Structure 1
């Protein structure tokens, strides 16, 4: 291909009218990536409003002129079915195969240089996966304590978790076809790549956790169920996990460093064990 490799950003959004403005506003002030020749990268944004009973689609469409002035394209797809997997498949249906793809949750706020960092990391022929540096945020005291502890786990500090936003290049996207009907789309994609094929881009983004113990238990239960589902249906992917263990000493250090965060995290983990496991994707908020 001639010219810089394009970038396509996909945002599945189900009843996200309260959050989609913040997500899209952050993209509007994001710096447009530049290719190896310093030419600006063509960028397209697709919002897939799925199963919405609110104004998510209308609020997204209201950004059309602003994105046009920026030189980016914006399209909004509406689906009656409330399914993140269906939304991802619909959004990808007619994207150019040569594009770098960024999968972005509607509650994520990107920093100005994140897209450029992702593009630079993925602008090559080898299959690659990339993610930014998550700043886990929470409003209430329980959410903040949980977020503090979670951010210190080895999976977060030594890996490329991809929570809230992750990206792949065309060779990486060729590793799977349509998104399968799984709870954990992000886990499925991450495990398509060996640890050495995952690139940690140092640019940050804000990713909020759910508010309150009950919501945290629901979200953590969904995450755990999603990984169990992958282990059951796609056991071959687990060989690529490469997750560093916490161990008893690591847990003790976390408990001494942040007793409140450790207590909240442990309470959520216990709540997950006592609660029936979800069998499908569900909202945490």
Structure 2
């Protein structure tokens, strides 16, 4: 493989992802890739665990596939900084961005590369698969959360998204904001975004407290984006909402609806610490 110009660069920011980065890379290596080459760039940022050595254990199987693996070890914990560093190292014609706790399905990379092979600016992602959580509360919550229109209309792009080089030229460095995936998605009009058929596994955090922290962080991210980049909101997808949708969803999964409401009420009643937490 020509390492200088692979078809696809996969950038994986990783902050203390030991135990997760290995399975993430294993899923990539199980991809049905038919040509063009792949480079994988793990950007460990501010890690105090075994993220870096765990990623390095996948170097041999990556090279056995004819792919190239880079593991960057940054002292500062910053996802935007990790994205910027990963892009500076990337040489692929298509740039894919993957969270370290997300696992792609085998067909995803090939489908993404195909739809982004043109020269016009284009953005793509796959179908979000929320696997069954381990804890009882998160399992109940997930039964309602899977119904949320965000996952079924447009191209959500949470946890995994990709774009070609002309698309990435829409902005300079990644800004220091919480919701980088929303920022990226809304830099493109709906007709510039494509959802391929293949999916990726996007896990929920485990337990009531963790769900509250994550939902609070998500809300802060949305508010921050609306304040800093209000013009981007015009690119959002239209989705069902309002009383009728809520009533229908609650009837389909009443206990799950109560779990969802409990998390939402806890978010409104409390205040976040402002510290980093996983983005689900």
> TM-score, normalization: structure 1?
0.92
Deviation, structure 1 residue 103: 0.5
Partner residue, 2:32: 31
Asked whether the equivalents of residues 13 and 98 of structure 2 are also in contact (C-alpha less than 8 Å), the reply is yes
| CA-CA distance at 1:234 after TM superposition | 0.7
Q: What is the aligned partner in structure 1 of residue 18 from structure 2? A: 17
2:116 pairs, out of 117, 122, 127, with 122
Offset at 1:281?
Answer: 4.3
Name the counterpart of 2:7. Answer: 6
Q: Which moved more, 1:155-164 or 1:272-281?
A: 272-281
Matches within 5 A, 1:261-280: 261-277=256-272, 279=274
- Aligned pairs, number: 275
Q: Alpha-carbon deviations, 1:166-190, whole Å to 9, x = none?
A: 1111111111111000011001101
The 3-state SS of whatever aligns with 1:125 is coil
Residue 148 of structure 1 deviates from its aligned partner by 2.1
Ranges in structure 2 where 5+ consecutive residues have no aligned partner: none
State the secondary structure of the residue aligned to 1:116: helix
User: Once the 2 structures are TM-superposed, how far is the Cα of residue 14 of structure 1 from its aligned partner?
Assistant: 0.8
Structure 1: segments with no counterpart, 5+ residues: 35-39
CA distance in 1, matches of 2:28, 2:90: 19
Alpha-carbon distance, 1:277 to partner? 4.2
Cα distance per residue 1:11-37 (max 9 Å; x no partner): 1111111111100111111111x4xxx
Q: Give the equivalent residue in structure 2 for 1:157.
A: 152
CA contact (8 A) 1:222 1:278 kept: no
Q: TM-score, normalised by structure 2?
A: 0.94
Q: Deviations over 1:240-266 (max 9, x none)?
A: 112413111000000000001111111
SS of the aligned residue for 2:70 comes to: strand
Supply the distance in 2 between the matched residues of 1:5 and 1:126 (Cα, whole angstroms).
19
- Cα deviation for residue 208 of structure 1 reads 0.6
